[in-house]
Each structure stands twice: as C-alpha cells, then as structure tokens.
C-alpha cells in the first residue's frame, strides 16, 4: 500500500526556533512536494523536488528551505520560525512514470503552531 509519512502530527515551536519537518515516501516516487494549508487560502505550494538534490520554488517559498539528500526523504526547514508560519503542512509525492502530471499521494499533515 502506498505510504507517505510525516515526522509529527502536531508540533509547537517558539518564535525564532529552527524547525525541521520530515517527509518519507515508500513508493520510489521521483517527485515530492511541500504545501501549506490555511483557512480561506486553500493549499499553496512551498517547494517541490523532481529528483535527488534538485529543488524548485513553489508559490510561497519565502522563509522556507528544503533538502532532498535521498530519493525517499524530503525535508522542509523553517530557518527562524515566525507566528505567520503557524499552519497545516502537507507533504506529497508523485511518480513521473508515463506522465509528469500524475496523481499525488499525501501524508497525514503536520499542524505547526509557532508561539
């Protein structure tokens, strides 16, 4: 069965802390994505990666960075957390086999609160 896991379901951090959100997929997918979801704003893409060590900015990359050292793992880093980064963070992965526009598989999400 397809599986995307995220390191934490709930996380509380203080302003200025460095925060790591981890995502692991077991489907050998080439593509991985980080979104944030906020009420009234829907899902917005932060960063994505289409290969190991490759990354592309999404629609709202400011304040975030990512790392993909291994194919199965994609990390989102908040260098200095701020209260406006309080949100639900969703990781997803997809295959490029046959088409680059395949369906995405999502993790359960991490609800991050920055105080």
Partner 1 sequence: SQQGEEDPQALSIQEGENATMNCSYKTSINNLQWYRQNSGRGLVHLILIRSNEREKHSGRLRVTLDTSKKSSSLLITASRAADTASYFCALAGGTSYGKLTFGQGTILTVHP
73-78 and 19-25 beta bridge pairing: antiparallel
Does 76 bind partner 1 (CB under 8 A)? Our answer is no
Only one of the segments 14-22, 61-69, 71-79, 104-112 lies at the binding site for partner 1 (rule: CB under 8 A); that segment is 104-112
Does 16 bind partner 1 (CB under 8 A)? Our answer is no
Only one of the segments 13-21, 31-39, 67-75, 78-86 lies at the binding site for partner 1 (rule: CB under 8 A); that segment is 31-39
Query: What 3 state SS string does the chain have?
Result: CCCEEECCCEEEECCCCCEEEEEEECCCCCEEEEEEEECCCEEEEEEEECCCCCCEECCCCCCEEEEEEECCEEEEEECCCCHHHCEEEEEEEECCCCCCCCCCEECCCEEEEEC
Pick from 34, 48, 64, 74 the residue near partner 1 by CB under 8 A. Answer: 48
Does 104 bind partner 1 (CB under 8 A)? Our answer is yes
Q: Which residues of this chain interact with partner 1, rule CB under 8 A?
A: 4, 31, 33, 35, 40-43, 45, 48, 50, 56, 58-59, 88, 90, 92, 94, 96, 99-109, 111
């Amino acid at each position: 069965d397809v599986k995307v896991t995220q390191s934490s379901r709930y996380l509380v951090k203080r302003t200025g802390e460095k925060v790591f959100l981890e995502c692991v997929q077991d489907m050998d997918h080439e593509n991985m994505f980080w979104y944030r979801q906020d009420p009234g704003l829907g899902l917005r893409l932060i960063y994505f990666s289409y290969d190991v060590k490759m990354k592309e900015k999404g629609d709202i990359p400011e304040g975030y960075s990512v790392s993909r050292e291994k194919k199965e793992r994609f990390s989102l880093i908040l260098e200095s957390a701020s209260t406006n980064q309080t949100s639900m963070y969703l990781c997803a992965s997809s295959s490029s086999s046959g088409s680059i526009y395949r369906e995405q598989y999502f993790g359960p999400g991490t609800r991050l609160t920055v105080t």
